[in-house]
C-alpha cells in the first residue's frame, strides 16, 4: 500500500505504554509494542481521538510552526476556520479576531466562513439538480471521508464530490493576493488556522485533487496565546471592518451548520466518530432512503470539538451562537464568473480503499478467519489490552498476520510458564525418586 501521510504522531519520551489510546481508536489502528504506542498508517484517519484521550499528552498533531513559516513568504494570508471565533471570552465582534491576526504579521485575512458560504450556495445548486446519489454525504470532514473510503467503500459514491471550504478559501485567497500585490504564486503564503490534525493531512494530501493551495497549517491552540495578546492590545473602540461572512458560514463550526445552510429539510447531522460510524452502518443497510443530506463530523459537537482547539465544545458552540446574532444570513454567493467550477469540484472521484479484508482471495481470507477464530477461542476473552491490542480478537488477527506472538497475552504466557515449571518439577521428582532407588 502507498505510504500515506499522517499528522498524528507520538512523542516517544512521553508515552508510558498505558494502552488507553488503543481502546478509543475507532479504526483499531494503534498497538502498544515494546512499551510504546504505534500507529498503523494504513488505518489511521487522523480523527484525533487518541490525542484527546492520552493521559500523558504523548499523542500530538504535527502542525507548521508559525515563527519558522512566516519568514518564508513575502505576503501572508491567514485563513481562520470559524471555530477560532468560539475560543474567546467576552468577544462580541469577529473583527477583533481578524484585526488581531493582522497585528500578528499577516498581510491579509480570508475567512474560511466566506468560502463556506460559497460552498453552501454551490451545494444547494448541486442538490437541486437531483443528479447525485442520495442521500448525499458531506465531504467537509476529511476524517469522515477517509473513514468512508476504508471502512464503508460502497458509500463512496454518496460523498459530495466538492472540496471543503478550506481548499476553496485557499484558492480564492491566493488569486486575490496575486491580483492585489502582483507577486508570484510562491511569494504568497496561505496559512490555514485549523481545529484538527485531519485538516493538516488534507492540506498535504487532499482528497479529490492533486494539490492544495494551503501552504501552512497552524493549530487554533497554538495561535491562541499570541493572538489573544494582540487582540488585547487593540485600541478600544471599533476595529477596522473586516468580517465578510454571515450566520451560515460561521455556523459551519458546529454540527448541523452545513446541513441547515442547504435549506433542505430532510437532513441528518451526526457528530462524534462513534455516532458517525452508526449512521454509516444504517446508510449501508439502506435504512436512510428518506434522507437527502447527511452531515457528519468526526468531532463531538462538530469542528468546535476538534482535537487542536482549546475551549470546551459546548462553550465554544454557545459563543458562536452569540457571535452570529445580528449578522446577515449569508454574505457570499457562488458566482461562476468569479469562482470557476474547478475551484470547487473534485478533479477525480473518491477511490475505494478497503482495509477490512483479511486477504485478496476469498478462500485465503476464509482460511485466515478460521485460524483467527481458533486462536480467539484459546485466548481468555477479557479484552484487557495488556498484550497491546484492543481486544483478544485483535491480538488473534495480529498473530495470524504475523505481527504479534500469541504469548504477548499474559495469560497464555503464564500458562506456558506454568507448564514449563511443572515439567521441571516432575523431572526433578523423577530424578529424586530414581536417586532413592
Partner 1 sequence: MNKRLHYVIDGDDFTSAGQASGDVKKVLKTLGVPSEIVRKASIAMYEGEINMVIHADGGVIDVDIMPDRIVMALKDSGPGIPNVEEAMQAGFSTAPDTIRNLGFGAGMGLPNMKKYTDSMEIDTKVGVGTTITMTVKIV
Which residues of this protein are in contact with ligand SF4, per CB under 6 A? 47, 141, 143, 195-196, 198-199, 297-299, 302-303, 306
Residue in 128, 179, 285, 336 binding partner 1, rule: CB under 8 A = 285
CB nearer ligand SF4, residue 37 or residue 198: 198
CB nearer ligand SF4, residue 280 or residue 299: 299
User: Which stretches of 42-182 are DSSP H helices?
Assistant: 49-53, 66-70, 94-103, 112-129, 142-151, 165-181
Q: Which does 352 bind (CB under 5 to 8 A by kind): partner 1, ligand SF4, none?
A: partner 1
CB nearer partner 1, residue 65 or residue 154: 154
Q: Which does 198 bind (CB under 5 to 8 A by kind): partner 1, ligand SF4, none?
A: ligand SF4
**How far apart are CB 356 and partner 1 at their closest, in Å?**
5
CB nearer ligand SF4, residue 193 or residue 379: 193
CA angle 269, 119, 247 (to 5 degrees): 70
The DSSP result for 262-291, as a single string, is: TT-SSEEEEESHHHHHHHHHHHHTT--TT-
CB nearer partner 1, residue 11 or residue 356: 356
**How far apart are CB 307 and ligand SF4 at their closest, in Å?**
7
**How far apart are CB 20 and ligand SF4 at their closest, in Å?**
20
CB nearer ligand SF4, residue 207 or residue 298: 298
What pairing do the DSSP bridges indicate for beta strands 30-33 and 293-297?
A: unpaired
Which range binds partner 1 by CB under 8 A, 46-54, 171-179, 329-337, 358-366?
358-366
Among residues 173, 188, 161, the alpha carbon closest in space to that of 114 is found at: 173
Residue in 349, 354, 380, 381 binding partner 1, rule: CB under 8 A = 354
What letter would DSSP give residue 351? Answer: P
C-alpha cell at 238: 471599533
403 binds partner 1 (CB under 8 A): no
Among residues 114, 103, 47, the alpha carbon closest in space to that of 79 is found at: 114
**To 10 degrees, the CA torsion angle through 18, 22, 24, 26?**
170
**How far apart are CB 45 and ligand SF4 at their closest, in Å?**
9
- What residues have CB less than 8 Å from 313, skipping those under 6 apart? 299, 300, 301, 302, 304, 305
CB nearer ligand SF4, residue 304 or residue 409: 304
Among residues 37, 48, 58, 38, the alpha carbon closest in space to that of 8 is found at: 48
129 binds partner 1 (CB under 8 A): no
CA angle 208, 123, 326 (to 5 degrees): 125
Residues found in the chain: 437
Instruction: State the Cα–Cα distance between residues 52 and 63, nearest whole angstrom.
Output: 16
**How far apart are CB 253 and ligand SF4 at their closest, in Å?**
8
Q: Give the count of beta carbons closer than 10 Å to the beta carbon of residue 212.
A: 21
Among residues 295, 213, 188, the alpha carbon closest in space to that of 251 is found at: 295
Residue in 274, 281, 338, 419 binding partner 1, rule: CB under 8 A = 281
Site for partner 1 in 193-252 (CB under 8 A): none
377 binds partner 1 (CB under 8 A): no
367 binds partner 1 (CB under 8 A): yes
Instruction: State the Cα–Cα distance between residues 98 and 240, nearest whole angstrom.
Output: 9
Q: Which does 298 bind (CB under 5 to 8 A by kind): ligand SF4, partner 1, none?
A: ligand SF4
**How far apart are CB 309 and partner 1 at their closest, in Å?**
34
Backbone angles phi, psi at 269, to 5 degrees: -130, 125
CB nearer ligand SF4, residue 47 or residue 84: 47
User: Which stretches of 79-164 are DSSP H helices?
Assistant: 94-103, 112-129, 142-151
CB nearer partner 1, residue 9 or residue 157: 157
> Do 118 and 334 form a contact (C-beta atoms < 8 A)?
yes
410 binds partner 1 (CB under 8 A): no
360 binds partner 1 (CB under 8 A): yes
C-alpha cell at 325: 446574532
371 binds partner 1 (CB under 8 A): no
What letter would DSSP give residue 407? Answer: G
CB nearer ligand SF4, residue 231 or residue 298: 298
361 binds partner 1 (CB under 8 A): yes
Backbone angles phi, psi at 225, to 5 degrees: -65, -55
Residue in 12, 263, 315, 362 binding partner 1, rule: CB under 8 A = 362
Task: Write out the residues near partner 1 by the rule CB under 8 A.
Answer: 153-154, 281, 284-286, 352, 354, 356-363, 365-367, 369-370
Amino acid at each position: 500500500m502507498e505510504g500515506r501521510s499522517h499528522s498524528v504522531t507520538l512523542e516517544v519520551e512521553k508515552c508510558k505504554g498505558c494502552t488507553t489510546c488503543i481502546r478509543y481508536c475507532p479504526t483499531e489502528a494503534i498497538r502498544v509494542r515494546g512499551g510504546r504506542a504505534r500507529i498503523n498508517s494504513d488505518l489511521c484517519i487522523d480523527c484525533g481521538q487518541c490525542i484527546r484521550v492520552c493521559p500523558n499528552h504523548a499523542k500530538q498533531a504535527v502542525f507548521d510552526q508559525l515563527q519558522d513559516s512566516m519568514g518564508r513568504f513575502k505576503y501572508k494570508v491567514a485563513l481562520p476556520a470559524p471555530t477560532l471565533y468560539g475560543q474567546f471570552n467576552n468577544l462580541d465582534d469577529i473583527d477583533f479576531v481578524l484585526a488581531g491576526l493582522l497585528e500578528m504579521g499577516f498581510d491579509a485575512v480570508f475567512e474560511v466562513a466566506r468560502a463556506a458560504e460559497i460552498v453552501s450556495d454551490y451545494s444547494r445548486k448541486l442538490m437541486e439538480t437531483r443528479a447525485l446519489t442520495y442521500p448525499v454525504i458531506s465531504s467537509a470532514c476529511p476524517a469522515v471521508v477517509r473513514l468512508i473510503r476504508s471502512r464503508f467503500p460502497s458509500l463512496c459514491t454518496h460523498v459530495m464530490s466538492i472540496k471543503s471550504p478550506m481548499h476553496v478559501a485557499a484558492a480564492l485567497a491566493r488569486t486575490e493576493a496575486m491580483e492585489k500585490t502582483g507577486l508570484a504564486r510562491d511569494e504568497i503564503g496561505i496559512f490555514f488556522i485549523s481545529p484538527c490534525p485531519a485538516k493538516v493531512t488534507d492540506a498535504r494530501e487532499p482528497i479529490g485533487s492533486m494539490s492544495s493551495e494551503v501552504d501552512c497549517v497552524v493549530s487554533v491552540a497554538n495561535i491562541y496565546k499570541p493572538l489573544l495578546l494582540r487582540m488585547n492590545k487593540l485600541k478600544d473602540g471599533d476595529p477596522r471592518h473586516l468580517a465578510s461572512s454571515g450566520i451560515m458560514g460561521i455556523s459551519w463550526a458546529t454540527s448541523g451548520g452545513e446541513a441547515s445552510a442547504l435549506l433542505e429539510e430532510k437532513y441528518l447531522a451526526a457528530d462524534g466518530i462513534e455516532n458517525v460510524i452508526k449512521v454509516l452502518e444504517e446508510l449501508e443497510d439502506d435504512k436512510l432512503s428518506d434522507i437527502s443530506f447527511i452531515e457528519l463530523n468526526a468531532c463531538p459537537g462538530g469542528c468546535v470539538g476538534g482535537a487542536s482547539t482549546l475551549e470546551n465544545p459546548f462553550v465554544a458552540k454557545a459563543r458562536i451562537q452569540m457571535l452570529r446574532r445580528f449578522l446577515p444570513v449569508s454574505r457570499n454567493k457562488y458566482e461562476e464568473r468569479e469562482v470557476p467550477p474547478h475551484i470547487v469540484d473534485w478533479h477525480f472521484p473518491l477511490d475505494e480503499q478497503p482495509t477490512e479484508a483479511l486477504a485478496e482471495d476469498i478462500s485465503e481470507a476464509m482460511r485466515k478467519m478460521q485460524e483467527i477464530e481458533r486462536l480467539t477461542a484459546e485466548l481468555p476473552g477479557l479484552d484487557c489490552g495488556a498484550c497491546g491490542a484492543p481486544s483478544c480478537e485483535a491480538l488473534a488477527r495480529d498473530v495470524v498476520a504475523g505481527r504479534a506472538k500469541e504469548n504477548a497475552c499474559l495469560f497464555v504466557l503464564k500458562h506456558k510458564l506454568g507448564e514449563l515449571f511443572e515439567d521441571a518439577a516432575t523431572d526433578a521428582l523423577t530424578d529424586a525418586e530414581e536417586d532413592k532407588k
